[in-house]
Structure formats: C-alpha cells, structure tokens
Amino acid sequence: MSVERLLTNVLRLYQDVHDDDRTEQLYSTTTTLLTHLSNPLNITVLTSQLLNAPAIWERGDGMRACYRVISIFNSAATHVRNKELEAAKLQEQAKHKQPPQPLPLQTHPALHGPPGSRASQGLPPGSRGSQAGPPVPQAPRTGGGLSCDDWVSAVLKGADDKSSRWQHLLVFCGVLLGMTSQKDPRNRHGLSYSMRNTVEQAFVTAVNLALRPNEQPHGQHREPEPPAPPGPIALALTYAFPLLSKSSRLALDCDAIVPVALNGMTGADGLQDGLFLCTIDGDLKQSGNHFTWQENSPSALLLRQLEQKPLVNGLGPLSKVVGFAIEHARDTNVVLQAQNDLLTFTQKLLHEWEASKLSEIEISEEEVYLTQETLQGPWVALWTLLRKVMYGSVAVLQTIVARSLLDPRMRNDAMAPVVASKTLKALRYLYFISSRNGSDAFQVYTFTYLTSVDNLARYSDACASFLRDAKPLNPGTIPPHPLHRTLDLFYLNVAEHLPLKLTPEDCDSLIVQPAMAYLTHSTPLSPRMLELFEAAHSAVLSVLSCPHNAPVTVKLAPFYAEALFSAFPTHISPRQFRLAFKTLMQILSPPYPISSTHPQLAETLLEMVRFRIGVASKVPLPPPETQVQSATPELPVSEQSTLVMTLIDSLPFLHLRIFEDWLTQAAHAVNQIEDVAMREAAKRRFWEILVSGEMDVERSAIGVAWWGTKGGRQAVLYGSQGGLPDVPMMSGAIQNNMDRAKL
C-alpha cells in the first residue's frame, strides 16, 4: 500500500474508537507515516489530526495515551535523526574517497614538456583539466527524505488551535527526546541551533499557557480552554526538563508548576495518595502464625501496575522538577502550600500503613511471620516502591528547607519554626520507611533533618509545641505496636537536640518520662529496642547536661546511674557505659552549679562504682558486633576492668577536695584486676590521664605531687605490696623494703 493511501486510511480510522489491538496497530502505523511522509504538509495534517483523534483521546486510556503520543514522536524523531546522520556519514565518506587516476599517455619523454606543464600531466594540448575531480555523488535519503529541521518544523505546525496546549506538550516532548542523543555527547543535538531554540520556546510557551489557560500570547486569540489535567503536564516536564537549556528552564512559570507537578506526583496519576496500601490486607492469608501474600494476588498486581506508571517510574526526575520550581517560585505562599500538601500526603501514607496488618510485624520478626513466597516476591516490591516514595518526598522537602534559609519571608521568626516543625513532622510520617535498613543514610535526608532541627531549636515555644504534638500516647510505657515504637525512636532522636530551650518542667514531662520506659526495660532487646534504649540514654543525658535543669538532675542522677549499672554489660557496650558515666560525672562536677548545691552527689556515684569493682565479673566480655570483623580489634575487657576504666575516666572532673583521695582509690582498683593484659591497659590509661592534658592546671599539679612524692607511682605500678605503706609515715620516709631502692 502506498504511503498516501495509508495516510488516508489512518485519518479515517482516527474518527472512531477501536479495541486494544486495533489501537496499538494505529499507533504503530502513525509512527511509520511520520517517518516516511515526504510532504511536510502531510506531516502537519497527520500531527493535527492525531491530537484531535477520538480513537486516541476518547478511549479513556488517560495517562497511557499521553505516554504513547510522546513515544510516537520520540521514535519518529529518533528515526529521522538517525537517517540524516547516516546520509551525512555516507556523503562524508564519498567526499573523501579518491577517484581512480587515469593512466599517463605513452609518449616520448621529449614530449612531456617541463615540469608543471599540461603535457607533463598526461593531458593533450588544449584540453581543460578538472581542478576539483569528478562530482561528489549524493547519498540517497531513506524514509521521507526530509531534514531534521524541515521535519520538526512540519510537526510543530501540526500543534495548532484545534488541540489543547497540554497536548502540544506531548508532541514537543517527544521531539526533544528523539532529537537528543544520549550516546554521542559531542553531537548531542540533531537540530540546528535556531530550530532547537524554537522547539524549546514552543515547549515553554505551551507549559505556561496550559497552566494559565486564561492568558493569551500577544497577538493571538483562541477559545478559553478548560483547566489542564496535571498528569500530562507533569509527564512532559519529567522527560523534557533535563533537556532544556538554562534560559528555557528559567522562562517556565514556576509558581504554576509547583502545585501541578506535586499533584502529578502524589495524586491519582502518581502515588494515589498512598491508597495502594489499603488493598493489601484483603489478600493476606493467615495460616497459624504465618502470613502469605501471593504474587498473583490483585493487590500485588496493582503494586506492579503502579510501579509501571510513567510518573511513578520517573519519580526521581519529577521530584527534581518540583524542587526546581520551588526554588525559583516567586510567590512564597506557593512553597508553603506545597509543604502543606506534602505533609498531608505523608500523613495519609502513615495512616494507611498503620491500618495494615503488615505494620504489626517488627523488622527482626519478618522471617518468622512471613512465608518465603511473600519475602521474595511482593514484600520486596512493596518496600522498593516505598523507598522510592521516601526519596522523592525528601528531595522536595530538601528544596523547601534550603529556600527557608534564604527567603526573607520564610526565615523570619514567625515562619521559620513553622517550616521546621512541618518538615520534621513529614519526616516523622516517613520514618517507618527511612528507619528501615539505613534508608535515611544519604546526604539529602541528613541536610533536611539536621537543618530543620537546628531551626526548631532556636525557639522555645516551637520546641515544646512540636514535642507535645509528637509525644507518645502513653509516656512511661512501651507501646506494643512496632510502628508506634518506631515513631518513639524518631521522637527521642529529635528530643535529644531540644532540652536547652525547654523549661525544666517540659524537659521532665516531654523527654525524661517518655525515655524512662526504655531505660528500665530489662528483657532481651531486639535490634529496634536496642536503638530505642540508646536513644533514651542520649535524650536523658542531654537533659542532664543543661545547667538550668539542675532540679531535674538532682532527682534523676542516682536513678540514671542505677539504670546504667543494670544495663551493663547486657544492653550497652563497655565503650557506651564509660562514655555515659563520664558524661554524668562531668555534669555533677565543677563548674556545673549542681556541684555546689549537692557536692556529695558525685562522690556517691564513685562509691557505687568502687563497690561494684569488688563484685564484678572478671570474665572477658565478647567484643561488640561492630568490632568482630574489625582489622584491629580492641583488647579484651571484663566487667571489672571496664568499671576500673570508668573510675579513671572520672578523675579529671572531680572536686579538688576529693581529687587526691580518689587518685589513691583508683590506683588500688587498678591492681584488683587479675588479668595481666587488662591490668596493664588500665595502668596505661591511668598514665594517660596524668600526662595527656585531660586535667586542668590545678589537678595536674596535685597529680604530679601525688605520683612523685606521695607514693602514687608505687601504688599504680606495684599495688599494695610495694606501694603505699600500711602504717602512717612521713612523706619521703625510708621504707624497710629495700626493693624500693631499685625504683
């Protein structure tokens, strides 16, 4: 069938709605015609009719039809571009190909003439030799034979007033994609510079007019259009935005793009407001304590279909479009509304997950309650999609937070805490995803989280308000639901940064009381409970570290010290125990005011350590899991040696009046360690405390005098057998043990 007859048939088929097979055939035939028509007018007519065809737009295919239109023009443009490159390559080869040289005339040498004469070139006298050689043959074009510029010009003319602006976007997007090579950076664009600018300007103009249909370009008048659907605009921007030049991007109407692109990301054409989670429970089959989610179930099929949606599959590029629009939007209210919309979406997502039975399974128990079919099939697909949702949402939040640092209307004292609080709430709603297997360990998340915490921590009322809103429902008790414990973990991690701006009463009710439930938990800890236990310790220490919380510290310090002793060594490592107790001793010592009001508190805690040294286990502890595979593992330690090290670590913070006494007590404790290697490590730590500069000038002077003239050296190195005398003796007196002369 000739191309002209095929065009006539296609135009006729455009007028009716067909079944799926016939429609697919129509798409393929349209692509073929676009690449083989040689008359630009026919290409223009075909494009115009395609954008108005009931066979395409009245089937109810929605975003699928938009995607296919982009694909048609992408494929056609790629074909035209490749054929032009092939023709240019053949022409270049033909141009450089040397024609065969004619044989010289067999004449007498005397007839050749002087060098450079016509006779010397083998030409008869009077002939006109060709200076450029034979004419270069022109390589025949395949397909329609049009150049890229001519073909694109014909296509652009087909985007006329008979179709909507948002439909024009699909055509321009396909042309930009097809005319841009991703494989050849040196010759990336198949269009001339002027035509490339024309296509980009057409795309930008179509975007702006589709978003604001009541505005008309100067000199043009057309019927008002209904509001454009957000999905097609977001789809075209997703694919075309990376290809636009910087000047074209800046010409986009970012104020109008923000709500449309965000709606395309989270709405019906994208993530469906998280409603895909509510279909899972109906397909779960329970057999005893095991749940099965079959891969061929309707909800699993829906999950795969959602993943294949263009806007979901391109969630990363779409989030970049939203981020760019937020960064360059002129109206701050548009940015604030985008944050509210994203906050609403993340809240819906959390609520849908909370209503699912799968949220009742803790991460460490998944292999116990889920079958292998579930773990290897739909479960992987679900969390892959949720991580993609989290990455896209955090990318948008990052641009909002970055703008809040620069925009005067967002960084003032009225708006800055609001923006920070809403950002942290959105991150809290996403924490059931980001806390899974270290999914929050990327730079964008870290910047968004820490910057929001820093901004919030500047305002006392905002800190208290945020903690009250996110506070656990029953503080002081551990919630049975795994999801609620995950939210408690986020709460404690944020609360750790805020006590400096809170009153002592708020610190007690909003931080200490919620953390106490996890501090006193004594049963074996799962990985999640261990995280909560460590977060609770950090939150309580942050409260104790604030000087204005002295009334809370007085009541809490003994209880917290007892909690430390109870948790070691089952729940916390030796390093964690030493760090926590050292911090506590620093809080109870000068220059903190509590050291003056309650001077006996620090010494009481040291007595608790000294007492436990005598009864602690001397068996070496297993190394922490993080050090099992270390290339240079730490020396083995026991519970007793750790307590001795803790006592030594506390020495630089003690009050001057008790400092020398506890130097002696620490020296005796060192020699209570029976294991030689552990004892030598404690001695090295004691010496390090004295000489490394950890102590101030006054304590250093006392330490030097104690070491040199008061028997400190003997007490540390040799213990009670050769150290301090058992009877009162003047400093510097000669002892009976002559072995001391060797010192």
**Tens digit of each residue's pLDDT (9 = 90 or more) over 381-430:** 999 999 999 999 999 999 999 999 999 999 999 999 999 999 999 999 99
Number of H helices, E strands in the chain: 37, 2
State residue 596's pLDDT score: 87
Q: SS3 for 693?
A: coil
Q: Which of 52, 51, 34 is nearest to 43 (CA)?
A: 34
Average of per-residue pLDDT across 512-539? 88
Structure token pair of residue 473: 């429902």
Backbone angles phi, psi at 414, to 5 degrees: -85, -35
pLDDT band of residue 622 (cuts 50, 70, 90) is confident
* Confidence check: pLDDT of 632 > 60: no
Tokens of 555: 């009541």
Q: 332-354 and 416-429 are packed helices; what angle lies between their axes, rounded to 10 degrees?
A: 30
Q: Give which of 696, 733, 699, 692 is closest to 714, Cα–Cα.
A: 733
Domain that holds residue 515: 472-546
Given 458, 493, 514, the domain boundary residue is 458
| CA-closest candidate to residue 267, choices 207, 348, 373, 203 | 348
Q: How many domains does the chain have?
A: 4
- Model confidence band, residue 220 (pLDDT cutoffs 50, 70, 90): low
Per-residue tokens: 363? 């991460």
Tokens representing residue 107 in the block: 């004449």
| Nearest CA among 270, 273, 345 for reference residue 309 | 270
CA distances from 93 to 100, 148, 187, 669, 702 (A): 15, 21, 18, 90, 91
Q: What tokens appear for 464 in the block?
A: 């208290």
Specify whether 210 is located in the same domain as 258: no
Could you read off the pLDDT of 174-213 as tens digits, one per residue?
999 999 866 554 455 678 899 999 999 999 999 999 998 7
**What is the predicted pLDDT for the residue at 720?**
56
The HSE-up count of residue 90 (CA atoms within 13 Å, CB side) is 11
Continuous segment of H or E residues that includes residue 259: helix 254-266
Residue 614 structure tokens = 């005598």
- Tell me: do 384 and 415 sit in the same domain: yes
Residue 244 tokens, joined? 């636009």
Give the chain's largest Cα–Cα span: 136
Distance CA 267, CA 232 (A): 12
CA distance 407 to 17: 51
Q: Which of 517, 546, 575 is the last residue of a domain?
A: 546
On the 0-12 / 13-18 / 19+ scale of CB atoms within 10 A, 727 is exposed
Higher-scoring residue by pLDDT: 88, 217: 88
- Nearest Cα residue to 48 out of 123, 160, 126: 160
Q: Are residues 595 and 565 in the same domain?
A: yes
CA nearest 390: which of 333, 316, 340? Answer: 316
pLDDT tens digits along 434-465: 999 888 899 999 999 999 999 999 999 999 99
φ, ψ of residue 202 to 5 degrees: the values are -65, -40
Highest mean pLDDT among 220-229, 456-465, 725-734: 456-465
Q: What's the pTM?
A: 0.85
Residue 105: CB atoms within 10 Å: 12
Distance of CA 28 to the CA centre of its chain: 40
Domain-embedded: residue 290: no
Q: How many CB atoms lie within 10 A of CB 16?
A: 11
114 — pLDDT class (breaks 50, 70, 90): very low
Cα–Cα distances (Å) from 530 to 485, 486, 522, 523, in that order, read: 11, 12, 11, 11
Element of type H or E holding 445: helix 443-456
Are 713 and 669 contained in the same domain? yes
pLDDT of residue 102: 53
Whether residue 314 lies inside any domain: the answer is yes
Structural contact between residues 732 and 703, judged by C-beta atoms closer than 8 angstroms: no
Contact between 386 and 433 under an 8 Å Cβ cutoff? The reply is yes
Q: Does position 221 have pLDDT exceeding 80, yes or no?
A: no
pLDDT at position 228, please? 87
Which tokens sit at 64? Answer: 């699928």
Here the tokens at position 117 are 């004469």
pLDDT tens track for 308-345 = 999 999 999 999 999 999 999 999 999 999 999 999 99
In a domain, 726, yes or no: no
Both tokens of 30, joined, read 């349209």
Nearest to 190 by CA among 150, 237, 159, 246: 150
Tell me how far apart the alpha carbons of residues 267 and 246 are, in angstroms, rounded to a whole number.
29
**Torsion sign (Cα): 608, 610, 616, 619:** positive
Residue 387 token pair:
């991580």
Quick one: DSSP state of residue 140?
P
Contacts of 58 (CB under 8 A, 6+ apart): 17
Same domain, 515 and 368: no
One domain, residues 480 and 413? no
DSSP-assigned beta bridge partners for residue 285:
292
The helix or strand, by DSSP H or E, that contains position 291, with its residue range, turns out to be strand 290-293
Tokens 């993530």 belong to 271
Question: What is the average per-residue pLDDT within 472-484?
Answer: 90
Evaluate if residue 71 carries a pLDDT over 50: yes
* Residue 429 included in any domain: yes
Query: What is the full DSSP assignment across 586-653?
Result: HHTSTTSTHHHHSTHHHHHHHHHHHHHHHHS--SBPPPPHHHHT-SSPPPP-BHHHHHHHHHHHHGGG
Dihedral of alpha carbons 642, 648, 649, 650, sign = positive
Asked whether residue 131 is assigned to any structural domain, the reply reads: no
Integer Cα distance of 23 and 26 in angstroms: 5
Using one digit for the tens of pLDDT, what is the confidence trace for 243-281?
A: 999 999 999 999 999 999 999 999 999 999 999 999 999
Give the pLDDT mean for 500-523.
90
Nearest Cα to Cα of residue 262 among 173, 349, 342: 342
Q: What are phi and psi of 291, to 5 degrees?
A: -110, 140
Q: Are strands 290-293 and 284-287 parallel, antiparallel or unpaired?
A: antiparallel
Answer yes or no: do 425 and 448 share one domain: yes
Q: Residue 87: count other Cβ atoms within 10 Å of its Cβ.
A: 18
Confidence at 288, pLDDT banded by 50, 70, 90 = confident
Q: Lowest-pLDDT range, 497-501, 592-596, 650-654? A: 592-596
Q: Return d(Cα 398, Cα 426) in angstroms, integer.
A: 12
Q: What is the mean pLDDT of residues 489-515?
A: 95
CA distance 545 to 439: 31
- For residue 737, what pLDDT is reported? 47
| pLDDT, mean over the chain | 86
- Percent of the chain past pLDDT 70, that is, above it, reads 85
Asked, for residue 300, whether it belongs to a domain, the answer is no
Task: Say if residue 633's pLDDT is above 70.
Answer: no
Whether residue 681 sits in one domain with residue 592: yes
- Give me the pLDDT at residue 248, please: 95
CB atoms within 10 A of CB 522: 11
What confidence tier does 144 reach under pLDDT thresholds 50, 70, 90?
Answer: low
**Cα separation values, 568 from 35, 400, 608, 714, Å:** 75, 43, 14, 31
Closest by CA to 424, choosing from 453, 457, 463, is 453
- What pLDDT score does 118 carry? 40
Counting other chains too, the contacts that 18-23 makes at CB distance below 8 Å and 24 or more residues apart are 18/55, 23/55, 23/56, 23/59
The two tokens of residue 223 are: 């019927």
Range in 86-100, 231-245, 553-567, 642-656 the model is least confident about = 86-100
Q: Do 350 and 205 fall into the same domain?
A: no
Mind listing the pLDDT tens digit for each residue in 8-38?
999 999 999 999 999 999 999 999 999 999 9
Highest-pLDDT range among 115-129, 392-406, 686-700? 392-406
User: Do residue 647 and residue 692 come from a single domain?
Assistant: yes
* Distance separating alpha carbons of residues 634 and 681, to the nearest angstrom: 11
Residues 399, 528, single domain; the answer is no
In a domain, 114, yes or no: no
CA distance linking residue 34 with residue 45, whole number of Å:
11
Q: Give the closest residue to 491 by CA, choosing from 509, 511, 513.
A: 511
> What spatial distance separates the first Cα and last Cα of the chain, rounded to whole Å?
111
Domain membership of residue 397 (yes or no) is: yes
pLDDT confidence of residue 591: 86
Chosen domain end from 495, 524, 546 = 546
Q: What is the per-residue pLDDT for 742?
A: 38
**Cβ contacts of 74 within 8 Å, gap of 6 or more:** 174, 175, 177, 178
The listed range with the strongest mean pLDDT (96-100, 104-108, 691-695) is 691-695
Write down the pLDDT at residue 180.
Answer: 86
* Residues 233, 210 contacting (CB under 8 angstroms): yes
- CA 396-343-464 angle, 5° bins: 110
Same domain, 311 and 367: yes
**Cα angle 367-273-285, degrees, rounded to a multiple of 5:** 35
Asked if the bond preceding 591 is cis, omega within 30° of 0, the reply is: yes
Distance of CA 141 to the CA centre of its chain: 49
The proportion of the chain whose per-residue pLDDT surpasses 90, expressed as a percent, equals 71
In order of 320, 449, 642, the CA distances from 340 in angstroms are: 18, 17, 51
pLDDT at residue 47, rounded to an integer: 96
